[in-house]
Structure formats: structure tokens, C-alpha cells
Chains A and B, each alone.
Chain A
Amino acid sequence: MIANFGFGILLITFFVTVYSAVAASFSNPKGLAFFFRGVPTKRARLIADWLDNRDNPQRAASMVESARRAMLLTWPLLTLAAGLLIYLLINNHFEVQFVYEVTSRSMPTYLKVTAWWGGQAGSLLFWSWLMSAFASLVTLRKWDRDREFLPWVILVSCVTLAFFIGMTVFFENPFAQLYQTPAGVDAHILQPANSILFTPEDGRGLNPLLRHPGMIIHPPMLYLGFVSFVIPFAFAIAALITGRTDDRWIRITRRWTLWAWLFLTFGLVLGGRWAYDVLGWGGYWGWDPVEIAAFMPWLTGTAFLHSVMIQEKRGMLKHWNMLLVILTYDLVIFGTFLTRSGVLSSVHAFAQSAIGPLFFGYIVITFVASVGLIIYRWGGLKSETEMTSLLSREALFLFNNLLFMSILVVCFWGVIYPLTSELFTGAKVTVGPAYYERANGPLFATLMFLMGIAPLSAWGHSTMKTLGHAIWKPTVGAMAVTAIVFATYARNAYAVIGFFLVALVIFVTLYEYWRGARARQKGQGENIFTAFWNLTGRDRRRYGGYIIHLSMMLMAIGILGIELFQVETQGTLEVGQQKSIGGYDVVYEDIARFTGSDGREVTRAVLGVYQDGAYLGELNPRIDYYFDAQQSMTIPGQRSTLKDDLYILLVNWEPASATGATFKIFVNPLVNWLWMGSLLFLVGIVIAAWPDKDPERVVVPAGKRVRQASAAD
């Protein structure tokens, strides 16, 4: 009953979004006519002429208002649908297929709630729900100066929303119920003839690997990032359709883009942390197709964040920015499909899912249509200035963009390689992590080098001499650090290059801070701390960006450490025996097996950790066996310090055998810097994106409106 009601709500929401999209496009007959002019038939031209004659400002305004209100209706409707689904999940309504697939009686309530995004049908609904929230938020902003964008932003949001809701209504319905028919048990939306509702005793349960705090926050974060990138795309399309192709759309969506980027980055980091804590293979990133799918929009999004600055400052790269935001949008759709479709290990598996071709069709259509719009507006997107110097800030930014795109190409090529190779050579060939590391390594290194020199180069014109003058101090500092690292820590060539680049970027960034603060100290007579504070506050995007650069370098330290210096050992120990690795002595002391909460059997080992004879503490790697899912989970015992992580896995222990327990031990140097870097990243991006200096975001009483600071920063 509730399931039917939920399905009804979804169906209504689908029609509401379709209505909103249609109303939004009809509100502007001229804009609509523009589409029909693209179709080379006589009838299309007649329709276009007819539409052109129907331009009526008054009716247009009421149509837009109608579309806007319809759009605002979607969020409450989807919230209701989601509430119903959560009700079904919490109350063990296993007759609903989705509930049966992702929950079981033994799961605690909070996990039953988060099981909402634990499966494909639910996560499509979750995506739609977030999307409608963001679209509603954006329609509630003040539109006075951008009236003409509104219908097209609504159109793009509603088309996207309609696509995702349509998926849940017609293909992956979270409210489909199990019915017993003469032919067997099957899921249906409506009750088939001669059938009775079938309620299984218990559900299959959420995969134990997903029952982890990291996995509870990770998908929503990633989805928030995915969804909020739709907004800049919507404005870009609005700008293209209306022909208002100055940088207005970029200024409106700048903060959206930053928040989107924040969520996406954090989603990726949390995913890595989850892999590190739960998957039990000693790593955090495996260049899995799913990971790459989430990483690709991050690459284009990061490139976009950088290149919009060139458009704002110099009026260049307008086509490029449009292309980047379109690519990001389509990669977001692709990522949503790939991360939740459950068809990953082989690219051949795409065909297995009914929704695969639809996703591909949608991506192709939106991409072709958007690129068509860019070509149509090509003239209006011409650069206002020319790039002259190879070392100018804008040239280095362009180079940075090309590097991000190169990494994207490497990743994309890796994902589609099995398909292309089969097409052209007949052999199915895949590539593993080694491919990505080898091809991306030099690109990442060059990117870091650019991160080092770009902040010191000037806009417009810059030469070797001016750049050299600015950079020599940080370079000397970085060389000194590298020499110390070489003498005391590592002589691996990759490590030396890597640590040099890290040190260079850190010194350049700090040097930039110091120069700015000194200038204020002298000019304004502030003390150095106030000067730092005001400096950051006055140009948040720049100095927030520098903090983000620093955080990336901390992450790079962690990545260099674990990638280049990880050591591991494994072996079977009897109680009292010890094993030594990386300066640690690990003594196996005890083991116990007991019944834990949440329907699992826990096997937990106790190991004492010593260093140079001094007792450091005990670690408890364990194996959790889940009866409902018949699956075990290997939870490492970890001891984290700034220098390294001691990471112990309990591999095997049979109570009956006298051979002892088997352990696998990793020492992961410097990996903690990766997680610390991600926290600093949060600080940096909050500084860069904090919405207090943009008067458009502040509700200003009419008549007292301050000057729009669109030229700020």
C-alpha cells in the first residue's frame, strides 16, 4: 500500500518536472524558435516563425513563474517519496524488492536508513532528491539582473531531474514489490493477475563492507559534489541560449562550483579512507573503474575552477570554459551511472544493465546539443585579449588546464581500452593500476611544478628574468630540504623529485603569503598577524586557493610515502612469537572469538607493539563474520603516527588448528599526511567559498541595495 503510494508520488513528480521543463521553454518562444531553426526542414521553419510571432512578455512572465513553482514542488514531493522509502526500510517491509535487497532484520536502524543509497534504485532516488533541493535553492535566489537566465536554468535542471526520476519510475523502481505468480516470484510495480504479495522472512542485508561510517558519508558527499555541478552547467547553457555570453554566468556560479568541488573532493578522500580501513589490502586507491569514474569529473571541475579565473581577469578561454563545464556535467552523469550500476569489472558488462544504453543515450544527446550551442555562439565567445607570453600567468593556467585534460584522457583511455582494443585488434586487453601510475606520474609531477611557478608569474607578460627573480629564494629553500631528505630519509630518484616539488610549492606558497603580509605590514602599519588575517580576508579566493595548494602538497607527501616506501611482511605466529618490520617488533599475545552485535561473529587478536624494546601499545586486528550475508570482513589494527602507520591484518585463525594465527603487516610511511592534508583542504576551501562578500547572496532591503560587487576579487 505504502509502496504503491510512493510509486504514485514518484510518477506525479516525474510529470511535474516534465511540465516545468515544457513551461519553461514555452515561456520564451523566441528561444524555442531558436531550437527549431536548427532543424533543416520546412515545417520546422514554419514552427519557428509561428513561435517568433507569439512572443508576449506578459504571458512569458507568467509561464516562467508557473515553471518555477512547479519546480519548487519537486523537492517536497521527492522528500515525501524518500520518507516513504525510509519508512519501508526501517520497518522491514521485505515485500518491497529494494528493501529486501539492502536490509535485514539484524541491521541497526541507522544502517537501515542509510541503506537508502546502498542500492541502485534507492541511490537514483537519492540523487534526484538532492538535485531537486539544489534546483529549488537556485530558483529561490534573487533573479533581478538575470531574469533571462531563469527559464533556461529551470529547463536544464528539470530535464536532468526528469531523466533521473524517469529512471526510477520506469526502470529501477525502489517501490517495486515481490509477487508470487504461478511462474515464480518476481518484482512488479502493479499487482499482476493471479498473484499474491510475497514477503520474504528476512532481507539479504547490506553488504557488510558498506557498514562503515566512511561508507555512510562517502556516497552522499560524492553525490552532493556530482549534483551541484549541474548548476554551473545549467547557467552555462542559459548563457549560450540567451547569447549573454559574458562572464556573468561564471560569477553567479562561482561559489556553487567551489562547493561542488569541495563535496566531490571530500567524497573521493572519504572513499579512500574507507578502502584503507575496510578493504584490508593496505592501500586507499586502486585505480578501479568506479574510482576513476568519480575522479574524472573532479579533473575537469578542477581545470574549470582554474580557467574561469582567466576568463574573469583577461576575457580569454571562453569556449574552453563552456566545454569544461559541459564535460564535467556529462562525466557526472557517467560517474553516477558507473558508481551505482553494479556492473564494473568489465566494460563489456555495460550491456547487462537495462539503464546502460539510456544513460549513454542521454550523455550523447546532452553533449552533442551543448557543443552545438557552443558552435552556434562561437563568435560571441571570442577572446577579448590575446595571449602573448609563454610564461604569463594565463599561459601557465592554460598549461595547467591541458595537464588536467591529459590526465583525464589517460584515465578515460584506460577505462575504454578494453572496448577499443577489442574493436581494432580483436583481443580484449585491459590495463591495471600500473598503467595509470606510469602514465599519470609525470603529468602529476609537471602539475606540481606549475603549482610552484604559476603563483609567482604575472598576468599578461612575464619573462624568465622576472620569474627567476621571484622564484630563486623558494627554490634554494626547496633544494636545502631535498638535500636533507636525501641525506637522512630516501635516495629513490622518484622520491627526491617528488619531495623537491612538494617543498618548492610549499615554499612558494608561504613566500607569497609572507610577501603579501609584509606589504600590508609596511603599508597599513598592521602587525604581522593582523596583516596575515586581513590579507586572507581581502582576497579569499586567492589565499584560500593557496591553502588548498598547501593541503594538496600535504596529501602528496602521504601519497609519495605510501606509494614509494610501503613495506609488508606476512607470516603465521604462535602465541608469544614476534615479527619485526620497519623498526617495529610485533608480538602475538592472544586471540579470542566471540559473538558481536549486528549479527556477526568476531575473531579478535591482541598484539603488542614494541619499538627499540619500548612498549608502544596493543593493536587488535579482527575478522568479523556476518551470518546473514555469509561474508567476513577484515578490519585492520592500525597505529598512526606522522612518520608512518603500522597496519596489521588478521588473515587466518582456526580454533582447532595448533599452527597459530596468520598476519599480514604493512608499514605505510607518511600516509597520515594524506588525511591531514584533506582537513587543511577543508579549511582552504571554506575560506575561498565563504559567502559573505557577495552582496547578491545577502538579502538587502529594497531601496537600500548596495552596489553589486560583481567585479570583486
Chain B
Amino acid sequence: MKINKFVIGGLLILGAVVFLIWNAASSTSEFFMTVDELNAKSSDIVDKNLRVSGAVIGDTIRYDPQSLTLTFEVAHVPADGPEIETEGGLAEALHQAVIDPSRERMTIVYVGVKPDLLRHEAQAIVTGHLAADGVFYADELLLKCPTRYEEAVPDQAGN
């Protein structure tokens, strides 16, 4: 009898944790996609929570400080580690993505502060949704510049 109440208590905690994880994960999870995948099935995923990574194309960066609207294009980079390895590492993969005009591209709009790390050939990881007009509206913008630093810094902008 004495053991039972502890077992029941333990099961209750376990159940609560499973519920919390399931509940939080199902309402907040973001689908990680590449630009290719996104453009291939853009109609099904409109307005879903998405996370996309791509190579920033420097010439396309526009920033309007009045409205704090940032617009830029990213080119497709593979998401898989081995695939990036075969292209010669992340820095090389980003470089290839930017110089290849046949790569799939996507326009990103982000309202907020322009991040310090946003520049040509940086890897942008954006979280947000794809609108019906094919433009990606980002709520969060993370950047990584593997070319110059081996250090990856959690640079966060917006929430």
C-alpha cells in the first residue's frame, strides 16, 4: 500500500510531463525546410509555422529605417550535414549558393532591427510563415557567418 501511492505519484508526474511536452511541442513547433522544398509545395504550407535556412544575397538587402522593414533574398542551401560536407563545408556551400543563378531563391521580409551579422554569404535562419504572395514573413532572424569565424554566436533578433 505504501509503495502504491509513490508509484501513482510518479506516474502522475510522468503523465504531466508528457502532456506538457506534447502540448507545448504541438502548438509551437516549426517545420524546418529548405528553400527548394518551400518553393516546391508552397501552396500547402501557407501560414504554417516554418523555419527556413538560406544563403543571404548581399545585393538584395534593403532596409527602410523609417518603418524598420528589412527585405532580402536568400538562395537555397542544403540542410543535411553530409550534403553540405560534399560541397566543401558550410562556408563553401553558402558561397556556391550565392554565385549560382539557377538556385531557387526566396524573398524574406522582417520588421525590426537590422542584425549586425546580416551580409553577403551569411547563413540566415528565419522563423515565420509564407504568405500567399510567396514572400516569407519572418518573426525571428538568426544569422551565422562561418566564413570568418569558427565561433558561432547566438545572435538573436526579434522574438
Chain A positions within 8 Å of B, measured between CB atoms, are 101-102, 118-120, 204, 206-207, 209-210, 275, 279-281, 283, 286, 288, 290-291, 342-346, 348-352, 386-388, 390, 395, 399, 402-403, 406, 409-410, 413-414, 417-418, 421, 427-436, 438-440, 442-443, 570, 572, 629-634, 649, 651-652, 654, 659, 661-662, 664
A633 touches B152 (CB 8 A): no
Contacts A343-B152, A570-B112 given; 6 further ones with Cβ under 8 A? A210-B153, A290-B154, A352-B85, A386-B2, A414-B25, A439-B25
- Measured between beta carbons, the chain B residues less than 8 angstroms from A428 are 31-33, 79
Contact yes or no, B28 A352, CB < 8 A: no
Q: What's the dominant secondary structure at chain B's contact region? A: mixed
Min CB gap B113→A, angstroms? 5
B133 at the interface (CB under 8 A from A): no
Q: What A residues does B158 contact at CB under 8 A?
A: 281
Residues of B within 8 A of A279 (CB): 153-156
Q: Report which residue of A281, A351, A387, A570 has the largest number of chain B beta carbons within 10 angstroms of its beta carbon.
A: A281
Q: Are B28 and A651 in contact (CB under 8 A)?
A: no
Which chain B residue lies CB-closest to A428? B32
Closest chain A residue to B8 by CB distance? A390
- Is there a chain A Cβ closer than 8 Å to B46's Cβ? no
Q: Are B114 and A409 in contact (CB under 8 A)?
A: no
- The answer to whether A410 and B20 touch across the interface, beta carbons within 8 angstroms, is yes
Task: Let me know if B21 and A439 touch, CB within 8 A.
Answer: yes
Do the beta carbons of A352 and B20 come within 8 Å of each other? no
Neighbouring A residues of B6 by C-beta, 8 Å: 387, 390, 395
B117 partner residues in chain A, CB cutoff 8 A: 631
Subset of 22 A-B contacts with CB under 8 Å: A118-B151, A119-B150, A288-B156, A344-B154, A345-B123, A346-B125, A348-B81, A350-B81, A351-B82, A390-B6, A399-B13, A402-B13, A410-B17, A410-B24, A428-B79, A430-B30, A435-B28, A438-B23, A439-B21, A440-B20, A632-B116, A659-B66
Residue numbers in B under 8 Å from A433 (CB-CB): 159
Q: Does chain A have a CB within 8 A of B99?
A: no
> Is residue B135 within 8 Å, beta carbon to beta carbon, of the partner chain?
no
Asked if B144 is at the interface (CB within 8 A of a chain A CB), the reply is yes
Name the residue among A410, A417, A439, A633 with the largest chain B CB count within 10 angstroms: A439
A672 to chain B, nearest CB (A): 21
B63 touches A652 (CB 8 A): yes
Contact: B63 with A283, CB < 8 Å?
no
State in angstroms the CA–CA spacing of A342 and B142 once bound together. Answer: 14
Question: With A345-B144, A410-B20, A651-B114 known to touch, is A388 a contact of B30 (CB < 8 Å)?
Answer: no
Provide the bound-state CA to CA distance between A388 and B2, in Å.
Answer: 6
* B157 at the A interface (CB under 8 A): yes
Min CB distance, B1 to chain A, in Å?
11
- Within 8 Å by CB of A652, from B30, B32, B65, B148, lies B65
* 8 A Cβ contacts from B1-53 to A: 2, 5-6, 9-10, 13, 16-17, 20-21, 23-25, 27-33, 51, 53
Q: For the complex of A and B, list the 6 residue pairs with the smallest distance between their C-beta atoms, beginning with the closest.
A: A351-B81, A428-B32, A439-B24, A438-B24, A434-B28, A652-B65
Residues A346 and B24 in contact, CB atoms below 8 Å apart: no
Q: Is the CB of A413 within 8 A of B156?
A: no
Q: Which B residue sits closest to A650, measured CB to CB?
A: B113
The answer, among A207, A403, A662, for a CB contact under 8 Å with B151, is A207
Question: Which chain B positions have C-beta within 8 A of A403?
Answer: 13
Q: By the criterion CB–CB under 8 Å, are A430 and B20 in contact?
A: no
Total contacting residues, chain B, CB less than 8 A? 60
Query: Which residues does B use to contact A, with CB under 8 Å?
Result: 2, 5-6, 9-10, 13, 16-17, 20-21, 23-25, 27-33, 51, 53, 63, 65-66, 68, 79-82, 84-85, 89-90, 112-114, 116-117, 119, 123, 125, 127, 140, 142, 144-146, 148-159
Would B25 and A417 count as touching, CB distance under 8 A? Answer: yes
Known: A210-B153, A634-B113. A410 touches B31 (CB 8 A): no
A344 to chain B, nearest CB (A): 5
Determine if A438 and B13 form an interchain contact, defined as CB atoms under 8 angstroms apart: no
Evaluate contact between B65 and A439: CB separation under 8 angstroms: no
By beta carbon, the residue of chain A nearest B37 is A428
- How long is the Cα–Cα vector from A291 to B152 in the complex, in angstroms? 12
- How far, in angstroms, from A429 to B119 measured CA to CA in the complex? 27
* Structural contact, A209 and B31, CB atoms closer than 8 A: no
Task: Report B-chain residues with C-beta under 8 Å of the C-beta of A388.
Answer: 2
Q: Which residues of B contact A652 (CB under 8 A)?
A: 63, 65, 114
Residues of A within 8 A of B150 (CB): 101, 119-120, 342
Complex Cα spacing A430 to B112, Å: 23
How many whole Å from A365's CB to the nearest CB in chain B?
23
Q: By CB atoms of chain B within 10 A, which of A350, A410, A435 has the most?
A: A435
Contact A402:B10 (CB < 8 A) given known A417-B25, A438-B27: yes
B104 to chain A, nearest CB (A): 17
* Bound complex: CA A280 to CA B16 (Å): 36
Give the distance in Å from the alpha carbon of A661 to the alpha carbon of B66 in the complex.
9
- Whether B66 contacts A435 by the Cβ 8 Å rule is no
Asked if B80 and A204 make an inter-chain contact with CB atoms under 8 angstroms apart, the answer reads: no
A-side contacts of B81, CB under 8 Å: 348-352
Contact A442 B20 (CB under 8 A): yes
Q: Which residue, of A345, A395, A659, has the highest number of chain B Cβ atoms within 10 A?
A: A345
Kindly identify which residue among B20, B53, B65 contacts A345, using a CB–CB cutoff of 8 Å: B53
A629 to B89, CA, bound (A): 21
A283/B159 contact (C-beta < 8 A), A275-B154, A410-B17 known: yes
A residues near B119, Cβ cutoff 8 Å: 630
**Beta-carbon contact of A432 and B28 below 8 Å:** yes
The answer on a CB contact under 8 Å between A570 and B79 is no
Report which of A387, A633, A659 forms a contact with B116, defined as CB distance below 8 A: A633
Tell me, in angstroms, the Cα distance from A435 to B17 when the chains sit together. 13
- Give chain B residues whose Cβ lies under 8 Å from the Cβ of A206: 151
User: Given B28, B89, B145, B154, which contacts A438 in the complex, CB threshold below 8 Å?
Assistant: B28
| Bound complex: CA A440 to CA B16 (Å) | 11
Taken together as a complex, chains A and B put the C-alpha atoms of A349 and B89 apart, in Å, by: 10
CB nearest neighbor in A for B5: A390
